[in-house]
Amino acid sequence: MKTLMGVTLALVPLAGWAASTEYQDIERGRYISVLGDCAACHTVNDDQPFAGGVPLETPFGTLVAPNITPDATTGLGRWDYEDFKAAMTEGVGKGGYHLYPAMPYPSYTLMNEEDIHDLWSFLQTVTPVENAIEANQLPFPFSIRSVMMGWNWLNFDERSFEPDPEQSDEINRGAYLVEGLGHCGTCHTPRNFMGGAGGDKFAGATIEGWYAPDITPNAHVGIGGWSEDELVEYLQTGGNRYGFASGPMADEVHHSSQHWTEDDLYAVARYLLSGAGLESSDWDHAPPEPLPEDNPQVTAGSHIYFDRCSGCHTPNGGGEEGIFPQLASNPLVNGDNTTSLIRVVLAGSRPVATDAKPTAPAMPSFAWNLNDEEIASVLTFVRNSWGNAAPAVSAGEVADMREELRGD
Amino acid sequence: MKEKDDDAAPGGLTRRQLLGSSAALLVGASGAAKGLTFQGTPEWKPFDNVAVEPVDTDTAWQFFTDEEAATVEAIVERLIPADDLSMSGKEAGCAVFIDRQLAGAYGGYERLYMHGPFQDGTPEQGDQSALTPKQRYRLGLGALNDHCRNEHGAVFAELSEEQRDQLLAQLEQEEIQLDDIDTQLFFELVLTNTMEGFFADPIYGGNRDMVSWKMLGFPGARYDYRNYVERHNEDLGFEPVSIGGRPDWQTQG
């Protein structure tokens, strides 16, 4: 009887809310905030969501994501919907100041009105937190916000999402998520000298000392060899047989994509793997020939691999499903950009732990045991074995990374 | 025949009393314990490791005086003589290994409880001496050379191989009583440390070029043998590898 009462009492308010469209808008808005991964930059402490404070290192200096709770003095408490919409789609804050495009308004500009509206409805329900943030910590002249007027003129078009009538609804949904809310290109598309999106869309780029890999359908360096299931598995659980999300992607999976609906994840996978949105000439390059086995670095690297790596990654590079990534035929290994490869061997890595895969198996650090030349050799061997083919890694690259990481 | 109470536990307690009191003990213990609860994933730090600094074999003696070092080298050279199987303990760096160990935490037995009362104890209780390894070497090497000067008119290192072998045998058999230190305590420590130096990883200063591992066919500091565990009685062709690597790690040419 007691239990029954409890259930009834609990149901009454829920039923009342469910009838309210406002409640539905807010809940939709909560999901929009997950799709847009607002928390990645605006949440430092999970107890104070959206109170801002995540520092973003850009090539131009440090920006700190502001407080977007409804606090009147330090958050968005005095903003109205039109102010919010202008920030999301035009990169202009209340009163007309220019946002820096570390805030991905060049992507969010594609959001439809309903999504922006619901997101705003949700943000107004967040607990206000008093947390003053000085967002702009850039050096002169980048510290002058009006600089962004010129930047926007060169790098930004305010536009709305246009579905491609040639493509299925699912692919169009994927395009909306990838190009807009999910703002994948913010990290995965190389920046031009101004920090705007350059050519080579989705061809991979260095971000915060990590390599955001190529996500084109190229099978050798991109994700073209992955099945839709494998791509969804990566985004939903934080890893698949090729690797585990680390660095900034670990944050993305933790805050965002592990919570996406399966339909949305498959839409993203189908869109990315179809190459819709890209010209095939941009990504359809033939892979290089692997370096020969008698290359001195490959030979030395084969011994180091056998002695130090094969215990986990297995002698034939096959790895162990669910714990040790396979290195054979692995696009993450083949990329021209070796930032992440050198980094994980030097410093080790603890990838994301997700609800689906809570273990987060860590790669140990080898900085103490392998010198720069040895790390260069073993990576060169891995990049040219078992179906992989990629340029050699030099000891100098390893030395630079060692210094950069140690200097943190 | 005396009637036996099935419920009696040693000391006259019934089983129920015993269970009851252990339960109370557990409750009390858990109440007082300072437990740590871990949630989520354990802490992880970049560059985290349990690195060992490789011994620099080229520097001067860290603990031994020159005379002590010469004596230890003259001992390890005879405990492990050069033969068809390997170089000598001296060439393999056993004296360097012992010197660096004595200069470090081992020399003061830093990980052992080294406070009184010191009593002889039973053989099963093992080493009960108040002397640290540093003290044992200092006293033992000094006493050995005193003995050699008195009996042979020269320090140990100046004696012939035959003389040294005979002296070591006498030490082992306790036919010599050293001043200031128990002969057996000293000899066994030197013998043990010499073997450790010969077989330990080369980064600790001994086992030069992995000589003992090559002699035995020991594959060295490797991690996982799942692919080989079912392969018996065949040469797997493993080159021994030290924690610090092996020559094949270097690019050739």
φ/ψ of residue A68, rounded to 5 = -115, 20
Residues A194/A197/A202/A204 CA torsion (nearest 10 deg): 10
Nearest CA in chain A to B242: A307
Residue B163 burial class via C-beta count within 10 angstroms: exposed 0-12, middle 13-18, buried 19 and up: middle
Would you say the C-alpha torsion B33, B39, B45, B51 has a positive or negative sign?
A: positive
* CB of A219 less than 8 A from some CB of B: no
With beta carbons under 8 A apart, name residues in chain A contacting B213: none
Flag whether A117 is marked binding.
no
- Contact between B41 and A312 using a beta-carbon 8 Å cutoff: no
Q: Collapse the DSSP code of A334 into the 3-class scheme (helix H, G, I; strand E, B; otherwise coil) and give the result.
A: helix
Query: Nearest Cα to A38, choosing from B163, A194, A29?
Result: A29
Cis-peptide, bond into residue B117, ω within 30° of zero: yes
Rounded distance, CA B173 to CA B182, Å?
Answer: 12
Interface probe for A, chosen from B53, B249, B250, B252 (most Cβ of A below 10 Å), is: B249
- Contact between A299 and B251 using a beta-carbon 8 Å cutoff: yes
CB nearest A362 (choices: B44, B224, B252): B44
- Contact between B44 and A315 using a beta-carbon 8 Å cutoff: no
Q: Assign a CATH topology to domain A24-155.
A: Cytochrome Bc1 Complex; Chain D, domain 2 (1.10.760)
Q: Kindly report the three-state secondary structure assignment for every residue of A121-138.
A: HHHCCCCCCCCCCCCEEC
How many other C-beta atoms can be found within 10 angstroms of the C-beta atom of residue A148?
19
Q: What are the C-alpha distances in Å from A304 to residues A317, A375, B209? A: 13, 9, 17
ipTM for the assembly: 0.82
Closest-CA distance of chain A to residue B109, Å? 27
Summarised one tens digit per residue, pLDDT across range B41-79 is: 678 889 988 888 889 999 999 999 999 999 999 999 999
The answer regarding whether domain A296-407 maps to CATH 1.10.760.10 reads yes
Q: Kindly report the three-state secondary structure assignment for every residue of chain A.
A: CHHHHHHHHHHHHHHHHHCCHHHHHHHHHHHHHHHCCHHHHHCCCCCCCCCCCCEEEECCEEEECCCCCCCCCCCCCCCCHHHHHHHHHHCECCCCCECCCCCCHHHHCCCCHHHHHHHHHHHCCCCCCCCCCCCEECCCCCCCCCHHHHHHHHHCCCCCCCCCCCCCHHHHHHHHHHHHHCCCHHHHCCECCCCCECCCCCCCEEECCEEECCCCCCCCCCCCCCCHHHHHHHHHHCEECCEECCCHHHHHHHHCHHHCCHHHHHHHHHHHHHCCCCCHHHHCCCCCCCCCCCCHHHHHHHHHHHHHHHHHHCCCCCCECCCECCCCCCHHHHCCCCHHHHHHHHHCECCCCCCCCCCCCCECCCCCCCCHHHHHHHHHHHCCCCCCCCCCCCHHHHHHHHHHHHCC
Residues composing chain A? 408
Rounded distance, CA B97 to CA B201, Å?
Answer: 10
- Contact between B46 and A314 using a beta-carbon 8 Å cutoff: no
Nearest CA in chain B to A304: B249
Q: Collapse the DSSP code of A197 into the 3-class scheme (helix H, G, I; strand E, B; otherwise coil) and give the result.
A: strand
* CB of B244 less than 8 A from some CB of A: yes
> How many beta-carbon contacts under 8 Å exist across A and B?
73
What is the pLDDT, as a whole number, of residue B237? 87
Low-confidence ranges of chain A (pLDDT < 50): 1-19
With beta carbons under 8 A apart, name residues in chain B contacting A358: 41
A128, two tokens = 């206000």
CB nearest A347 (choices: B47, B222, B239): B47
A196, two tokens = 């705007």
Q: Where are the domains of chain A?
A: 24-155, 169-283, 296-407
Flag whether A303 is marked binding.
no
Interface probe for A, chosen from B45, B48, B241, B252 (most Cβ of A below 10 Å), is: B48
Summarised one tens digit per residue, pLDDT across range B19-29 is: 544 444 444 44
> Would you say B41 and A358 are in contact if contact means Cβ atoms under 8 Å apart?
yes
* Interface list for A 278-307 with B (CB within 8 A): 296-297, 299-300, 303-304, 307
Sole residue written with tokens 């109370």: B24
Closest-CA distance of chain B to residue A374, Å? 7
Query: Nearest Cα to A43, choosing from A100, A141, A127?
Result: A127
Query: Nearest Cα to B80, choosing from B95, B67, B90?
Result: B90
pTM attached to this predicted model:
0.85
Tell me if domain A24-155 and domain A296-407 are identical in fold.
yes
- Contact between B223 and A374 using a beta-carbon 8 Å cutoff: no
A48: DSSP letter: S
> Would you say A365 and A306 are in contact if contact means Cβ atoms under 8 Å apart?
no
Closest-CA distance of chain A to residue B242, Å? 10
B226, two tokens = 């799942």
| Region A169-283: CATH code | 1.10.760.10
pLDDT per residue, tens digit, chain B (253 aa), is 444 444 444 445 555 554 544 444 444 444 555 677 777 667 888 998 888 888 999 999 999 999 999 999 999 999 999 999 999 999 999 999 999 999 999 999 999 999 989 998 898 988 899 999 999 999 999 999 999 999 999 999 999 999 999 999 999 999 999 999 999 999 999 999 999 999 999 999 999 999 999 999 999 988 888 888 999 999 888 999 999 999 999 998 7
How many other C-beta atoms can be found within 10 angstroms of the C-beta atom of residue A279?
9
Sole residue written with tokens 């093992």: B126
- Contact between A300 and B51 using a beta-carbon 8 Å cutoff: no
Return all residues near A135 (Cβ < 8 A) that are at least 6 apart.
Answer: A52, A63, A64, A65, A66, A100
Nearest CA in chain A to B40: A358
What is the pLDDT, as a whole number, of residue A377? 98
Q: Collapse the DSSP code of A317 into the 3-class scheme (helix H, G, I; strand E, B; otherwise coil) and give the result.
A: coil
What is the pLDDT, as a whole number, of residue B48? 87
Would you say the C-alpha torsion A116, A122, A124, A129 has a positive or negative sign?
A: negative
